[in-house]
């Protein structure tokens, strides 16, 4: 190798050793006779010094160094003079007195600082990702990702799981999201699809008798992008035979509980993971991926509200809706502007409006000079429509104490939940309740199997069509599909869905009933899923699994703001790779070979 040691590994105990190092010039300081530069490799940084004792050629080479030049340095490790140690660096007690400095490659001035964690425009970072990845924070994220995946591989291998690769070029199947497709040259006019997940293949591996499978699997979904989505992403895909729900939950829980302290300084907040049914998660937290790092639970006020004469509440409850609210502790003094911000947030999340109740004893900027707040004074735009007793029942329902602010939303259950869910997240952040040192994992269970798709006029699978219904709900699959619950589960953490899975259907007749329930004719089902239906006739074992998202998991472990920070070469929100310049046009020849005629030519 061009080096004997790693820069970041040198310590006081190495003093006196002659070493050869290689790396990048991180920073340089020229003090006339004394020239210092910091040399960086993956392991860290060490200070190199050229002084009077340094041979002239080495000094000359060092004098020509610029940031990010690639250099090889030979020299002796020395203790730094007393008082000049740098406690910020692990190598801060030593420096290397150079005897040889060889420039291995020059570098253009970097387009942004590598040696400072300054805010850089993200498109510039993505265009020059190889430079961005040199930055210590990005190196940490990518190394954390490696450690996470390695831990998972070791953990599952020790528990008798087998890693099996499944193909990237598969068949397009209507599984939920839009497929990415690849044209076939040998079968003109036909297309492969890239897997949205290896779902069917892992089930077929169970039919094949492998019993315990996993894969660090790349998945592709052509969906509109959000902060925590990418067109291609990575899942820990796993499947087990002869299990029920508890077995999959237990394995996942044990894996995460062991993983978190092994690779990060975060703590798992709850053990065992709390379990919420889907309706409970929506009612108490306004989200199917609740952030359980803080309380702020939603209270149901429907009964109290229905008994009032307040038009807004009456209309909602008479239409079969709900009235629910949230306590914002210590926020009674919120200004008109702050209340408007919360109202706007609720409206954006689908609420018609927001009713607030502030309970006394806080300095309010709205209060006129000389007026002092009364203990227990209650202010609310709804007060004039409510009797004192009615107002009190709402205050009791929200458990408002002096200084608290109550936020109430009335309307359909779904929109009320999501509005209060948004308010809850916002308040968690505003009130500083969101701890950054923990992962609050939880399970959300008992999802509905099917949901009505009004655009297509049919039911669709909430999870995917291979998920088994709860045994006791199976009889309703034809008669009342909307009430059937699924043997599905999501693992959530800190407000994110980390993964989902289910116990699967393993009998042909049940799978056929499921396909019918989502509006597929028997012919369509056979055409699209014949391979699976057929496989179920050859002795398919009961099986189930889960697929936690690696990107989101590492993002949470790293405390990163989005998944792009933990992916080496991510795409933008518009699904473009700014470094490679993809997607791009292909040549006429390539198109001809594929028998594809392009009616649109994008600008390149
Ligand atoms: N294939 C599913 C998904 O990607 C996960 C699972 O059911 O195991 O969501």
In sequence order, what DSSP letters do the residues of 516-558 get, joined into one string?
HHTT--HHHHHHHHHHHHHHGGGTPPPEEEEEEBHHHHHHHHH
- Ligand 1: nearest atom to the Cα of 235: 4
**206, 463, 487: residue to mutate for ligand 1 pocket, most atoms within 8 A of CB:** 463
pLDDT tens track for 472-520: 999 999 999 999 999 999 999 999 999 999 999 999 999 999 999 999 9
Asked whether the beta carbons of 41 and 24 are under 8 A apart, the reply is yes
Question: Which residue minimizes the CA distance to atom 9 of ligand 1?
Answer: 500
* Alpha carbons 181 and 187: distance in angstroms, whole number: 14
- Give the pLDDT confidence score for residue 598 in this predicted structure: 83
For the Cβ of 501 lying below 6 angstroms from any atom of ligand 1, the answer is yes
- Give the pLDDT confidence score for residue 32 in this predicted structure: 80
Helical H segments across 320-431, by residue range: 336-348, 388-398, 413-430
- Give the pLDDT confidence score for residue 361 in this predicted structure: 59
- Give the pLDDT confidence score for residue 377 in this predicted structure: 86
- Cα 175 to averaged position of ligand 1 atoms, centre (Å): 10
The label of the residue with tokens 């007195």 reads 97
For the Cβ of 547 lying below 6 angstroms from any atom of ligand 1, the answer is yes
Cis bond before residue 583 (omega within 30° of 0) = yes
* Alpha carbons 160 and 154: distance in angstroms, whole number: 10
How crowded is residue 365: how many other Cβ atoms within 10 Å of its Cβ? 10
For the Cβ of 287 lying below 6 angstroms from any atom of ligand 1, the answer is no
Q: Which residues of the chain have pLDDT under 50?
A: 362, 364, 367-373
pTM over 0.85: yes
- Ligand 1: nearest atom to the Cα of 237: 8
* Alpha carbons 257 and 51: distance in angstroms, whole number: 52
Work out the angle between the directed axes of helices 136-158 and 550-558 (0-180°, nearest 10): 120
**235, 240, 490: residue to mutate for ligand 1 pocket, most atoms within 8 A of CB:** 235
* Alpha carbons 154 and 236: distance in angstroms, whole number: 13
For the Cβ of 197 lying below 6 angstroms from any atom of ligand 1, the answer is yes
- Ligand 1: nearest atom to the Cα of 238: 8
- Give the pLDDT confidence score for residue 177 in this predicted structure: 86
- Give the pLDDT confidence score for residue 353 in this predicted structure: 94
* φ and ψ of 418, to 5 deg: -70, -35
- Cα 198 to averaged position of ligand 1 atoms, centre (Å): 8
- Cα 169 to averaged position of ligand 1 atoms, centre (Å): 18
For the Cβ of 234 lying below 6 angstroms from any atom of ligand 1, the answer is no
* φ and ψ of 143, to 5 deg: -70, -40
Q: Using alpha carbons only, how large is the chain's radius of gyration in Å?
A: 30
- Cα 451 to averaged position of ligand 1 atoms, centre (Å): 17
Question: Which residue minimizes the CA distance to atom 6 of ligand 1?
Answer: 501
- Ligand 1: nearest atom to the Cα of 546: 8
Question: Which residue minimizes the CA distance to atom 7 of ligand 1?
Answer: 501
- Give the pLDDT confidence score for residue 227 in this predicted structure: 67
For the Cβ of 199 lying below 6 angstroms from any atom of ligand 1, the answer is yes
- Give the pLDDT confidence score for residue 370 in this predicted structure: 46
- Give the pLDDT confidence score for residue 372 in this predicted structure: 47
- Cα 561 to averaged position of ligand 1 atoms, centre (Å): 24
- Cα 122 to averaged position of ligand 1 atoms, centre (Å): 31
For the Cβ of 502 lying below 6 angstroms from any atom of ligand 1, the answer is yes
DSSP string, 503-520: EBP-SHHHHHHHHHHTT-
**237, 249, 467: residue to mutate for ligand 1 pocket, most atoms within 8 A of CB:** 237
For the Cβ of 545 lying below 6 angstroms from any atom of ligand 1, the answer is yes
């Amino acid at each position: 190798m061009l080096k004997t040691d790693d820069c970041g590994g040198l310590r006081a105990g190495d003093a006196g050793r002659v070493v050869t190092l290689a790396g990048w010039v991180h920073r340089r300081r020229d003090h006339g006779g004394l020239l210092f530069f910091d040399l960086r490799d993956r392991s860290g940084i060490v200070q190199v010094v050229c002084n009077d004792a340094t041979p002239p050629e080495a000094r000359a080479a060092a004098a020509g160094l610029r940031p990010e030049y690639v250099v090889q340095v030979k020299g002796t490790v020395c203790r730094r003079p007393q008082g000049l140690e740098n406690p910020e660096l692990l190598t801060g007690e030593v420096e290397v007195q150079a005897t040889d400095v060889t420039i291995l490659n020059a570098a253009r001035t970097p387009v942004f600082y590598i040696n400072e964690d300054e805010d850089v425009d993200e498109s510039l970072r993505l265009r020059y990702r190889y430079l961005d990845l040199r930055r210590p924070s990005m190196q940490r994220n990518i190394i954390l990702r490696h450690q996470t995946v390695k831990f998972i591989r070791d953990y599952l291998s020790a528990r008798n799981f087998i890693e099996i690769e499944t193909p990237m070029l598969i068949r397009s199947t209507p599984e939920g999201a839009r497929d990415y497709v690849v044209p076939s040259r040998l079968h003109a006019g036909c297309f492969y699809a890239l897997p949205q997940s290896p779902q069917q293949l892992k089930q077929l591996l169970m039919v094949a008798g492998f019993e315990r499978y996993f894969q660090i699997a790349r998945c592709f979904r052509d969906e509109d992008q959000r902060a925590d989505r990418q067109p291609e992403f990575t899942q820990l895909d796993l499947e087990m035979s002869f299990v029920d729900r508890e077995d999959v939950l237990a394995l996942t829980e044990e894996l995460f509980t062991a993983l978190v302290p092994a690779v990060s300084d975060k703590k798992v907040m709850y053990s065992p993971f709390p379990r919420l049914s889907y309706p409970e998660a929506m009612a108490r937290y306004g989200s199917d991926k609740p952030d359980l790092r803080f309380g702020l639970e939603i209270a149901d006020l429907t009964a109290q509200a229905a008994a009032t004469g307040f038009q807004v509440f009456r209309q909602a409850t008479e239409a079969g809706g709900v009235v629910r609210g949230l306590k914002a502790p210590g926020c009674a003094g919120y200004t008109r502007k702050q209340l408007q911000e919360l109202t706007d947030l609720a409206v954006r999340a689908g609420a018609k409006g927001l009713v607030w109740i502030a309970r006394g004893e806080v300095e309010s900027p709205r209060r006129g000079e000389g007026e002092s707040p009364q203990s227990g004074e209650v202010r609310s735009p709804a007060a004039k429509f409510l009797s004192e007793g009615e107002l009190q029942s709402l205050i009791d329902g929200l458990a408002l104490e002096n200084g608290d602010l109550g936020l109430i939303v009335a309307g359909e259950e779904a929109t009320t939940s999501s509005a209060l869910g948004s308010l809850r997240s916002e308040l968690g952040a505003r009130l500083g309740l969101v701890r950054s040192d923990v992962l609050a994992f939880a399970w959300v269970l008992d999802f509905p199997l099917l949901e009505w798709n009004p655009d297509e006029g049919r039911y669709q699978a909430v999870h995917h069509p291979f998920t088994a219904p709860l045994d006791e709900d199976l009889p309703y699959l034809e008669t009342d599909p909307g009430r059937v619950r699924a043997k599905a589960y999501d693992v959530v953490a800190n407000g994110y869905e980390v993964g989902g899975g289910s116990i699967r259907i393993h009998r042909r007749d049940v799978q056929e009933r499921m396909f019918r329930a989502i509006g597929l004719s028997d012919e369509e089902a056979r055409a699209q899923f014949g391979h699976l239906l057929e496989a179920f006739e050859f002795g398919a074992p009961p099986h189930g699994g889960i697929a936690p998202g690696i990107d989101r998991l590492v993002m949470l472990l790293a405390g990163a703001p989005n998944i792009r920070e933990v992916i080496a070469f991510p795409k933008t929100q518009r699904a473009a790779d700014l470094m490679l310049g993809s997607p791009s046009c292909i040549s006429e020849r390539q198109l001809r070979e594929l028998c594809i005629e392009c009616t649109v030519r994008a600008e390149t």
